[in-house]
Homo-oligomer: A and B are copies of this chain.
Amino acid sequence: MPIADKKKAIFESTLELVKENGFHGTPMSLVAKKAGVAAGTIYHYFESKEVLILELYHYIQQQSIEVLKREDRADIPFQKCFFNLWHGLYTYYSKNTGIFRFFEQFVNSPYNTGQSEFVKDDFHRLLFQFFERGIQEGHLRPISSKILGTLAHSNIISTVKIQVLGGLKLQNGELEQIPLILWDGMQNRNDKS
């Protein structure tokens, strides 16, 4: 098994277990077992549990970044991109419900030492950049793109949560209305486009 695959196996096992049982309920021994390696082997790839979690965080974020990069296209009108991005992320999170549980656990855990995660990581940088464009082009209200980006992202996450944690099935058309609510709210009322 190539190295990359073994790291990936460890990542996937960890994610799965954290999703089910939380950080605390995810001993390294279980990760090892699920990944099909010996406990000690994990330590060839990751210095410690903390490092494993940290790297997993970035590994996962990479996938959200892919969506961002795919949907933020300069050759497509902003509003179209906006809805594409919303649905893109929504779909991704819906199909990988472990992801945001992991994220929220991570953000509120002792593992997350970086205080201002909003600014530093690539995902947020790209996210904010996208909203910056919307502001520049006059489509969105002229507030900090960081605010708009954060609100939009939490809107998406909430939509997933409503179903996953709230046990609510969205009715006909409801799913389409949610990004509309968001757009209508953030839209620049003077936008003539």
Contact = CB atoms under 8 A, between A and B. Distances in A.
Interface in A66-115: 101, 104-105, 107-110, 115
Contacts of A150: 158, 161-162, 166
15 contacts: A22-B108, A24-B24, A101-B108, A116-B166, A116-B167, A118-B168, A119-B166, A147-B162, A147-B168, A150-B161, A150-B162, A151-B181, A154-B154, A184-B187, A185-B186
B109 A22 contact: yes
A174 interface: yes
What 9 pairs between A and B have smallest CB-CB spacing?
A185-B185, A118-B166, A116-B167, A181-B185, A154-B158, A105-B108, A184-B185, A24-B24, A154-B154
Interface string A141-170: 101101100110011011101100111101
A171 B182 CA distance: 21
Nearest to A105: B108
Copy number of this protein in the oligomer?
Answer: 4
**Interface size class for chain A?**
35 or more
A103 B150 CA distance: 19
Contact of A154 (B107, B119, B155): B155
A151 B160 CA distance: 11
A46 interface: no
